[in-house]
Amino acid sequence: MQLYTIIDWFFTIGSLVLAILLGVYVNGAACLLGVFLYFIYPFIMEFSYNLLSVREEICIRNMPEIPIVYDESYNITACGIEKWHPFDSCKYGNVYRQIRQQVKGSHFTPKMLSRGTFLYLGMSKWYLLKMCYSAYASTLIELPVFFLPGAFLRSCLLDSMLLATSGSIQAAKLALEKGWAINLSGGYHHASLNRGGGFCIYPDITLVVNYLKRCCNLKKIVIVDLDAHQGNGYERDFLNDSSVYIIDFYNSYIYPGDHIAEQAISCFEHIDKDTSDQQYIKTLQRDLETHLKDDMEFLIYNAGTDIMAGDPLGHCCISAAGIKRRDEVVFKWAQHKKIPFLMLLSGGYQKENTFAIGESILQLIT
């Protein structure tokens, strides 16, 4: 558990105990002091944390044998509450174990990056403060958990997503070193620097781009987003940034339908339940050949599998074999162009997706 989360729990419990004691031993009005502390301490905690935290250098001290990034804490368990959402919150561990059955080399275990690093890469202080309150966070994760303490959501959900976001950034560094890397989580493409949505809290794709530009001096980055949903979060962050080239295939009939974010897309293709494997792969190959230029220095691949037939949220009809072929096409194009390649897992909302993800990754790395 992170130090921040421990302090969060301390103030949460302390303020509630104070409210009860004042109510019992003084009067009902006095307990409002404890309630007031409960609502005000996040302001104090966030201000102090932002002030004291410093930016850290991102480096890979122990180079792994295979550039796969994973930590067991990626998997989300919240006393069963996570089962209320269709997202398979433990798919990361299942994919990892499937890969481990055939690949024995060491992987990279990410560490949580400092608050100062996230702020340097553009995270909004105000947005981070709002995430301390479960009433706000519940609107982003689409679960009715507004009645729970913010510390509970942080320890059961937010810390896992923040670690996965840290993993995406460190995976980008690893990709620069090894030529490619896969983070077995991340791809929170509905999140921007100052807002979230669609079960996406932290904008790992935007943070990766900002890291590459600010810390690695890269000038031209391409995002290939093949999740079934529009990547409106990072698209809003790069609306006026011509150095970020966005290729986005998605079902425009479903969430989020963000017409403002659409303006950032360089190449858009609509897909739905009538799009066959053959049509999909042919269109993808054509667009990659047309839009992947020689001056592009890094490729971020958002490999959502909610385009798979039967997925309850994607409403598409691509087979497991089609997903394998899709990933192979993007991976080989990156290799052909000699562009460092970062793959993020993103969406996928049925148990069958997990096996398809594992099989696809195995074909790329073996």
Which pLDDT score, from 0 to 100, does residue 86 have? 57
In terms of Cα–Cα distance, which of 96, 85, 84, 70 is closest to 355? Answer: 96
Closest CA to 336 of 287, 269, 280, 288: 288
Residues 146, 35 contacting (CB under 8 angstroms): no
Would you give the DSSP letter of residue 262?
Answer: G
Looking at this protein, which amino acid is placed at residue 14? G
For the stretch 287-319, pLDDT in tens is 999 999 889 999 999 999 999 999 999 999 999
User: What is the pLDDT, as a whole number, of residue 79?
Assistant: 54
pLDDT tens for the chain, residues 1 to 366: 678 888 888 888 888 888 888 888 888 777 888 888 888 999 999 999 999 999 999 999 889 999 999 999 999 876 555 565 556 778 999 999 999 999 989 999 999 999 999 999 999 999 999 999 999 998 998 777 777 888 888 988 899 999 999 999 999 999 999 999 999 999 999 999 999 999 999 999 999 999 999 999 999 999 999 999 999 999 999 999 999 999 999 999 999 999 999 999 999 999 999 999 999 999 999 999 999 988 999 999 999 999 999 999 999 999 999 999 999 999 999 999 999 999 999 999 888 899 999 999 999 999
- Joined tokens for residue 174: 């690893």
**Distance between CA 69 and CA 167 in Å, rounded?**
6
pLDDT value for 166: 98
CA–CA distance from 137 to each of 142, 301, 306 (Å)?
9, 27, 23
Tokens representing residue 243 in the block: 């150095």
Tell me the CA distances in angstroms from 92 to 4, 72, 250, 312, one per residue in order: 25, 8, 23, 19
Q: Could you list the active site residues?
A: 190
Question: What pLDDT does residue 80 have?
Answer: 58
pLDDT at 143: 75
Distance in angstroms (rounded) separating the CA atoms of residues 306 and 297: 28
DSSP reduced 3-state for 165:
helix
Name, in order, each residue with C-beta under 8 angstroms of 338's C-beta and a sequence gap of 6 or more.
none
Please, is 99 exposed, middle or buried when counting C-beta atoms within 10 Å of its C-beta (0-12, 13-18, 19+)?
Answer: buried
> Which pLDDT value is given to residue 297?
98
HSE at residue 205, side-chain half, CA atoms within 13 A, is: 33
What local confidence, expressed as pLDDT, does residue 20 receive? Answer: 85
Residue 250: per-residue pLDDT? 98
What domains can you pick out in the chain, each with its CATH number? 1-51 (no CATH), 56-365 (3.40.800.20)
Residue located via tokens 């001056």: 295
pLDDT, one tens digit per residue, over 13-66 is 888 888 888 888 888 777 888 888 888 999 999 999 999 999 999 999 889 999
pTM: 0.94
pLDDT at 147: 76
Tell me what pLDDT residue 25 has.
Answer: 81
What residues contact 88, with CB distance under 8 A and at least 6 apart?
94, 348, 349, 350, 351, 353, 354
